[in-house]
């Protein structure tokens, strides 16, 4: 690649793409009890509140043009603790966790075989591909306003895995297998670039 092509590519990447930094909500009381919250509101536990406050300290110097979060209580509360002092937080229901349907609020033993629900919905709920469709629609909508900008998202597991599929060209099988939650490899935000 020539120097000019590198420069043009760098300019294009910076000005014609959106940088998303993805944050997960803090630990919930359901997490601590092994319950799959899904589309239920969920409440941050004392640990989750502390995690969110600590994350706020870790990212206080980062600049974002917008902050989005799921409209579910656990994500809203986390986003408020992390970003509420500096940003207006924009709630969007497309950033919700996968709808576990009949299994919302039930023990999460069914999560041992998540690949069964890539294209097949949870009973009376959604599939992971349904979450991917929501995330693609969300990205398409924000491209009109936030091209060349940096946004933060505070949400859940399934939307983050959908970004792995959309932005990192992973299959759902790969995204599920590589999920940081399996190795407890939490970090203070994951970066995705949408062009």
Positions of the chain with pLDDT under 70:
1-15
Nearest to 157 by CA among 123, 181, 189: 181
Specify whether the CB–CB gap between 25 and 44 falls below 8 A: yes
pTM above the 0.85 mark? yes
pLDDT at 3: 55
Q: Distance between CA atoms of 115 and 172, rounded to whole angstroms? A: 8
Query: Could you report the per-residue pLDDT of 105-141, keeping only the tens digit for each?
Result: 999 988 888 999 999 999 999 999 999 999 999 999 9
Query: Could you report the per-residue pLDDT of 76-91, keeping only the tens digit for each?
Result: 999 999 999 899 999 9
pLDDT at 181: 87
The whole-chain average pLDDT of the chain stands at 92
Give 193's strand partners: 19
pLDDT at 183: 85
Q: Distance between CA atoms of 68 and 151, rounded to whole angstroms? A: 8
Q: Domains of the chain, with CATH numbers? A: 18-194 (3.40.50.1240)
pLDDT at 186: 86
b/e code 153-188 from CB counts within 10 Å (16+ = b): bbbbbbbbbbbbbbbeebebeebbeeeeeeeeeeee
């Amino acid at each position: 690649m020539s120097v000019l092509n590198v420069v043009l590519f760098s300019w294009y990447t910076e000005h014609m793409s959106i940088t998303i930094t993805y944050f997960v909500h803090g630990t919930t009381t359901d997490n601590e009890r092994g319950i799959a919250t899904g589309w239920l509101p969920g409440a941050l536990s004392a640990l989750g509140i502390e995690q969110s406050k600590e994350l706020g300290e870790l990212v206080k110097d980062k600049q974002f043009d917008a902050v989005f979060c799921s409209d579910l209580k656990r994500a809203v509360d986390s986003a408020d603790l992390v970003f509420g002092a500096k940003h207006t937080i924009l709630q969007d229901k497309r950033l919700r966790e996968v709808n576990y349907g009949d299994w919302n609020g039930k023990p999460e033993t069914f999560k041992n075989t998540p690949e069964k629900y890539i294209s097949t919905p949870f009973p009376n709920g959604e599939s992971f591909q349904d979450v991917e469709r929501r995330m693609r629609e969300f990205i398409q909508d924000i491209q009109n306003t936030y091209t060349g900008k940096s946004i933060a998202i505070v949400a859940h597991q399934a939307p983050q895995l959908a970004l792995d599929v959309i932005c990192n060209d992973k299959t759902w099988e790969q995204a599920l297998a590589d999920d940081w939650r399996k190795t407890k490899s939490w970090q203070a935000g994951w970066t995705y670039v949408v062009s």
